[in-house]
Structure 1
C-alpha cells in the first residue's frame, strides 16, 4: 500500500514540476493555466519604471548619434534650372518647303536627343574650359575638409610635365605674407619645401606657380590648405555623376537641369554655365545650317551670273554684227512660242539639276553625323520637283536621318538599334532612287518632245530673215537668266535679314539660384530617426525584460498566480550575510523581519485554532528558497509567545536545521524511525527555553519508506503530548516526494516562495497541490522580499508601520539607510 501511494505521489509531483497535465484532474489544470494569465499590467509598469533610466539613456544615445551624423556628414546642395526648346526648320525659313509640308513638332524623342546633347562630352569640354574646375582648393578641418570654391587665399597655375600627380593631394602651409611650405607624397615618404608666392616650382608631374588672391588675410596662415589637380577625364566623370537632366513636360518642350555638390555656389554656377554653354552650342548649330543654305544660294547665283554674262555677250555681239535690235512681222508669234518652250525646257532642266543633286546626296553611303545636315537641309530647292511621292519619301528619309543621328549620340554604330535604323534608311534611299529614275525618264521624254517642237519652229524661222531670228534667239536666254538671277538675289537678301537676327532656339525659363537648404542630410528627419530608434530600443528593452521576467518578485505576483492564500511576507535580511539559515528573531526582536514573522504567526490563528495542537509543515519547490530559515525563525517567534515548539528536520537528504542552531547531526529522525534512539534522546535544546528541535540524523538510503513507516506517526503523537506546535522542515516537493507525504499528515502546510529566486513556473506546483491533490489549507509565504515587492505587506526600513492578515500596528527599530550612489539609485528605481 505504501509503495502504491508513493508511486502516485511521485507521478503527481513529476507532473506538477514539469508543467504537464495531471491525468486525474484535467479541469484543475485548466483552472491553473487561467490563473495569472494575460498581460500583467502592474508588472509591465514596474519593469518600465525600472527601465526608465535605460530608456532615457537609449533616447539620448539615439539623439547623440543623430547629432554626430549631422556633425560629421557634409551637407549636399542641389541647384536647378528650367529651359524650353523651340526648334525650327531652315528650309521653312528659306520658303523652300512644299505647300503641303508642315514643320516637325517636338516630341519625346527630340527632347531625349537634347538631353543627350546636354550630357555629352561636347558640353562638358566647353564647361571645363569656361569654369576653372581643373584645380580644387580645400581647407582641412578637425574631421571634414571644406572646398574653397573661388574663395581660396591663393591660386595655382600649372604646366603638366608628366601625368604622374593628377589627383594627388598637395599640402600647403602658409608661413607668412610671402612664403609657404608645399608637401606631397612621393613613394613611401613625403617631399616638399619652402617657396615664395609668384615663383615657379617644379614637382615630378607639374611646374607650379602659386599666387595670392584677394581672399588672403591675416588669418590665412593659421589654417591648413591643400589642392588637387584633376584630369579632364576626372572632371567629366565628376560632372556626369552629379548632373541630372530630365524632361519635365514633353508637351511644353521643357527640360530640367540640376546639379548636386557640397558647395552651393559651385552647384549654382555649374547649372547656369551649362545653360549658357548649351545655348552657345545650339546657336552654333543654327549658324552652321544657315551658312550651308547661304552657300547653296551663292552657288546658284554664280551659275546664273555666268550664264547671263555669256547670253548678254552673245546678244551684244549679234546686235553689233547685224546692226539691228528690233524684229518685226511674223516673228512675234513664233518668238512667243519659242519663249514658252524655252521656259518649259528651263524648268525641266532645273528639275533635272535638283534630281541630280538629290541623287548625289542620296547615293552617299556614310552615316549622318551629329553635326551634319539632313537631305532636306542640304538641298532647300526640293519644292521645284512638284512630285508628291518623292516629297513623301524625302520626308520619311529626313525623319529616319534624324532618328539615326539621335541614336548615334547614345549607342555605338555596331549596336542593333543603329543597324535597324540604317537598314530602314537604306530601304528608303532605294525607293527614292527608283522614283528619281522614273522622274528622270519622264523629264528626258519631255525634253525630247520640246526639242522636236523647237526644231519644227526653227524650220519655220528659216524662212524669216536670219538677223531677226538670231536676235530673238539670243534675247530669250538673256531675259530668262535675268529673271532667275533677280529671284535668287531676292531670296538671298531675305535670308540674310533672317540670318542677322538668328538666336538659339531655346529659352531659360528659370535660371539656377543659390540653394539655401541642403537636400541631405535633413536635420529634422535625422533627429526624428534617432529619437524613434532610441524609443524603439527602449520599448524593446522593456518588452525583453518583461518577457524574460520569469521569477516571482512581489507579493502581488504571488497572489496573482496562485490560488493558495498568502500567509505573509518575510523581508530581506540585510544586517549580515548568512552562510546558512540561522535563528535571528531572538537577537533583534524589534527588527522588521521579526515583526514580519510575528505577522505570520498572527495569521496562523486564522488557519488553525490555537487551542488545538498544530502540526505545521514548511516546504518549497527547490533547495535555496529559505524554508529552513522560515521554519526556524517562525518556530522561534511562536516559542517567544510562551508556547512550546519543536522543529523536526525531515529533509534527511540535505539536513540544515542542526546548522541553524550550531548543533550536531549524529542522531535524529532517521535513528528514531529505525528504533536506534528514542524521541527524548534526540530532542535538542536551543537558546529559547520553549524551543527545541530534532535534527534529521544520518542520511538513510530510503527516506521516503521511513516516512511511511508507522513509527513516524507514533513519533508525532508522542511529540504532540509535550509540545503545542510542531514545525516540520520537509524536503523540496519539486525534487522528491517526501514533502507531499508529510503535507498530508499536517494541519497547516506552508509553501515558501523566495522573491527573485523562485521561478513563476514553480507556482503551478502550488495550484496543482491545492486543486489536484486536495491540499485546501495550503498557504504560501514570500521570503526575501525587497521593499518594493512587499506592497500590501511592506515593512520598510527605518520608522514605519506594517500590516498583514489580522495584524495590528507595531513599532519597528530604526535601520541604517542605504549609502553610496549605486545603493541610492538602486533604492530609487527598485
Structure 2
C-alpha cells in the first residue's frame, strides 16, 4: 500500500514538473527583452555603419542630383465681360457664376500655345547652352560665351547635342553624332556653316568669353517646338490660390534659378499683352456692334415715325385716347343740358294746365305763380310778366266777386282781361315749347354724333398703340445704344489690364528639390530602419543561448553556475587550467559551482556527478576536467571517468594514454588499478574511456559498471563522469540515472535554444529532479548579474588585458 502511494506521489510530482516545464516553454516563446538588448548592443557597430552608409548615400545623391529651383508670382484677375460692362447681360446684370469659374479659363489661357508662342518670341528658349563640369553639366542661361544662329532644313538636327571646344578666341571645333558616327570639324568664329540640312553661324560673346572658355567643354541643343512646349508644360504650374479673391499663382521650375524667374516674369508680361490685345479686340467688336445696332434701330425708328405720322394725318389726331376723353366729356355735358331742357319742357306743360284751370274755383289763396315751382328757371321775362299779370287779375277778380255778381260790368271787364292774358300766356307757352323741342332735337342729334364718334375711337386707339409700341421701343433702344457707345468710347480711352501682379517673381535662393535636410533625414532614417531591421533579423535568427536569463526562462532546471569565456590561450582540446590560473575568473566561477554542489549534495559525503550536454562541442569535457580539479584542490579525492567511449577526450585533457580504460575494465581485461592515471594534482585521478567498443550501451548496462562505481566509492569522495551527449546517444541518460547530481552543460552562443526543450523533456520523462545546468563560455554581457570579483577588489583576478583602440574594441564587439 505504501509503495502504491509513493508511486502516485511520484506521478503527481512528475505531472507538476511537466506542467511547470510547459509553462516555462510557453514563457520562452515570448519576447525576450534581455536578449533583444544584447542583440541590439552587439549590433551597434553595424547600426552605426548603416547610418553612415545612409548619410553617405544622401550626400552622393545630393552631389549627383541637379537642384531644381522654383520661381512664383501671384496675379489678381478681375472677372469682367464686355457685355457686363455695356449692361447688355441678362436682366441688365452680369450672370452669377460660381467663384473661380472664369479663373479656370484664365488658367487654360496662361498654359495655352498662344502664350507659349508669345513667350518663345520674347525669350530665346529654343537654344540651350551648357558647360560640362566634373560631375554635372550647368546651363549657361544668358551667360554663354558664344551664341548661335541657325536655320534647320532637316528636322533630325533638332534635339541633338552639338559639342563646342574653343582652340582660340577665333577658332572652335564643332562635333556631333550622325547615327553612331561622330561628325566634327574646325571652323572660324562668325563663319557661316552649311552642313547637310543645317545652316549655322557661331559668334562669341565678349562679356563672358575669357581664358577659361578655352579650357571648358561646351555644348548646345536646338529644341523643336514640340520639345519646348513639353518643357514648358512640364515645369509650368498655374494654380487658383483663392477663388473668392480671384488670385492665381504662376510657378515655374528649372535647374537655373534666373531662367525660372525670367520665364515667370515674361509669362506675366505676355499674358498682360494678350489680355490687352483681347480687350482691344473685344472693344473694337463691341463698338462695331454698337454702331451696327444703332444704324439698324435708327432705320426702324424712322419707319415707326412715318407710320405714326400717316396715322395722325388720316385720323387728324396725335392722341386717340385724349380725344376719347374729350368726346366723353362733351357727351356728359350735353346730356346735362338736355336734361335741363326736358325739365323745362315739363315745367311748361304743367304751367299750361294750370293756366287753363279756373283759379276762381280753386283755393282762393293760391295763384299760378305759386302753383308752379321753379318758374324762374324758364328764363322768359315776358312769360313771367304775363303770369304775374294773370295772378294780379285773378286776385282782382276774386276781390270784385266778393262785392259784385257775375252779371255786373265790372266782373265782365275783368274776365275779358283775364281771358286776354290767358291767351297771351298760351301763345307764349306754345312758342317756348316749340323752341325747347327744337333744342332737344338738336342736342339729340349731337349726342348721336358724339356716340358714333366714341364708338370708333377704340379701334383707332388700338391701331395707334400698335404703332406706338415699336416706336417707343426703337426710340429707347436707339438712345440707349447711343449712350452706351459714348460711355464705351470714353471708357476705352483709359483701358487698363484687368489683372494686377500682387507678387512678382523673385530669384529663388534655395532649391525646392532635393531638400538637403529632408534627404539627409531620409538617409538617417533609412540607416536607422535598416539597423532596426538588422536587429530584428538577428533577434529572430538568434537561436542560441547567450545569457543566464534565457537559460532560466526556458528550463525548469536550476542554474548551478556560469563559466566565463577562457581566452587566455587557444586550446585545440580541453585542458585543465584551474591549476595554472588559480586567481582567474574562470577558476573562481568553478569554485562557485563547487560550493553550490556542496549545498545540493550536503547530506552525502561521497557523490557521483555526471556531466553531459546535448551535442558535442558544448564544453562538457572542459567543465568536467576543471570542476574535478577545483574539487580536488579542496582536499577531496576525485576520480574522473570518461564514459564517452565513442569520442574520448579526458585523456587528451591530461595528456594521458587511452590504450586501456573503462571499456577494458568492463570486459575484465584490466583491473581498476591498472587503468587509473594520475594528474598534477595529487588528489585528482582519471580513467580514460579505453578502446572504442562496438556496444557502449550494453557495457554500461553491464553489472560490472555498478561494481566499478561501488569500488571507486571506497577510494574517492567524488566520482565525475564525462558522459556522451544525450542528444546523440542514450548512453548519457543511462549514466545520469546512476548519478547523484546530473549536470547539463549549455554553451553560450553555441547551444541552440531548442536544446533547452530537451532538458525539460529529460527532467519530465526521467524524473531528474536534481538536474542542474551550467552556462559555459559566457561573455561578460551574458553573465546577467553574475560577478566573480565581488568583495575581492579590482585586480584580484588575473584577467586578460582588454583590447585598446576603437578598431580593436569594435572587432571584439562584432566577433
Q: When the two structures are superposed, what TM-score results if normalisation uses the length of structure 1?
A: 0.68
| RMSD of aligned Cα (Å) | 4.4
**Deviations 1:230-277, CA, capped at 9 Å, x for gaps:** 112221121122222233444444433222222222222222222222
Once residues 482 and 791 of structure 1 are traced to their aligned partners in structure 2, the CA distance between those partners, rounded to angstroms, is 110
Query: Does residue 744 in structure 1 map to residue 737 in structure 2?
Result: yes
Moved more, 170-179 or 59-68: 170-179
Indicate the structure (1 or 2) with the bigger Cα radius of gyration. Answer: 2
Count the aligned residue pairs: 650
Give the Å deviation of 1:149: 1.8
Map Cα deviations across residues 89-110 of structure 1 (whole Å, 9 max, x no partner). 5456667x49943334555554
Could you tell me which residue of structure 1 aligns to residue 702 of structure 2? Answer: 709
Partner of 2:64: 72
Partner of 1:186: 178
Give the 3 Å change call, closer, same or farther, for CA 621–809 of structure 1 in structure 2: farther
Is residue 126 from structure 1 mapped to residue 122 from structure 2 by the alignment?
no
Q: Which position in structure 2 is the counterpart of 1:345?
A: none
| d(CA) in 2 for partners of 1:730, 1:287 | 109
Aligned ranges for residues 501-540 of structure 1 at < 5 Å? 501-540=494-533
Supply the distance in 2 between the matched residues of 1:492 and 1:653 (Cα, whole angstroms).
Answer: 121
User: Which of 126, 139, 142 is matched with 1:150 structurally?
Assistant: 142
2:156 partner SS: coil
Shift of 1:496: 3.9
CA drift at 1:556:
5.0
Question: Residues 727 and 92 from structure 1, CA distance in 2 versus in 1: closer, same or farther, beyond 3 angstroms?
Answer: closer
CA offset at residue 126 of structure 1?
1.2
Distance of 1:788 and 1:736 partners within structure 2: 33
Q: What displacement does 1:753 show?
A: 1.8
Task: Assess if the C-alpha contact under 8 Å between 1:197 and 1:212 holds in 2.
Answer: no
SS in 2 for 1:744: helix
| 1:691 pairs with 2:701 | no
The within-5 A match list for 1:244-643 is: 244-295=237-288, 337=313, 495-555=488-548, 557-559=550-552, 561-585=554-578, 593-609=586-602, 612-643=605-636
1:102 aligns with 2:93: yes
Residue of 220, 227, 239 corresponding to 2:220: 227
Tell me how far apart the structure 1 counterparts of residues 715 and 635 of structure 2 sit (CA, whole Å).
Answer: 14
Structure 2 residue corresponding to 1:169, chosen from 161, 164, 172: 161
Shift of 1:167: 1.0
SS in 2 for 1:616: strand
CA distance in 2, matches of 1:611, 1:768: 27
How many Å apart are 1:135 and its aligned residue?
0.9
Matching residue of 2:757 = 764
Q: 1:825 aligns with which of 793, 810, 813?
A: 810
2:709 aligned with 1:724: no
Identify the match of residue 128 of structure 2 among 124, 136, 139: 136
Q: Deviations over 1:712-738 (max 9, x none)?
A: 222211121222322111122223332
Are the structure 2 counterparts of residues 651 and 104 from structure 1 closer, same or farther at C-alpha, using a change threshold of 3 Å?
A: same
Contact kept, 8 Å, 1:35 with 1:562, in 2: the verdict is no
Aligned counterparts of 2:606 and 2:578: Cα–Cα separation in 1: 23
C-alpha change, 1:809 and 1:534, in structure 2 (3 Å) is closer
Over 3 Å counting, the alpha-carbon distance change for 1:259 and 1:809 in structure 2 is closer
TM-score (norm 2): 0.69
Q: Deviations over 1:591-640 (max 9, x none)?
A: 55445444444443333349722222111121111212222333344444
User: Is the CA contact (8 Å cut-off) linking 2:21 and 2:555 kept in structure 1?
Assistant: no
User: How far 1:677 sits from its partner (Å)?
Assistant: 4.2
Paired position in structure 1 for 2:50: 58
TM-superposed CA distance for 1:490, in Å, is 7.9
Q: Deviations over 1:554-610 (max 9, x none)?
A: 445445544444444434343544333334445565655445444444443333349
CA distance in structure 2 between the aligned counterparts of 1:482 and 1:627, rounded to whole angstroms: 124
Distance change >3 Å, CA 570–CA 282, structure 1 → 2? closer
Q: Distance in 1 between matches of 2:316 and 2:231?
A: 69
Q: CA deviation at 1:503?
A: 3.5
Please give the per-residue CA displacement for 1:638-658, whole angstroms capped at 9, x wherever unaligned.
444554332222223333333
1:251–1:626 distance in 2 versus 1, CA, 3 Å: closer
Deviations 1:31-74 (A, max 9, x none): 43366675444433333332222222222222222222223222
Provide structure 1 residue ranges, at least 5 long, that are not aligned to the other structure: 1-11, 13-20, 309-332, 343-445, 454-480, 796-800
Contact 2:742–2:770 (CA under 8 A) maintained in structure 1 = yes
CA distance in 1, matches of 2:586, 2:158: 83
CA separation in 2, counterparts of 1:78 and 1:816? Answer: 61
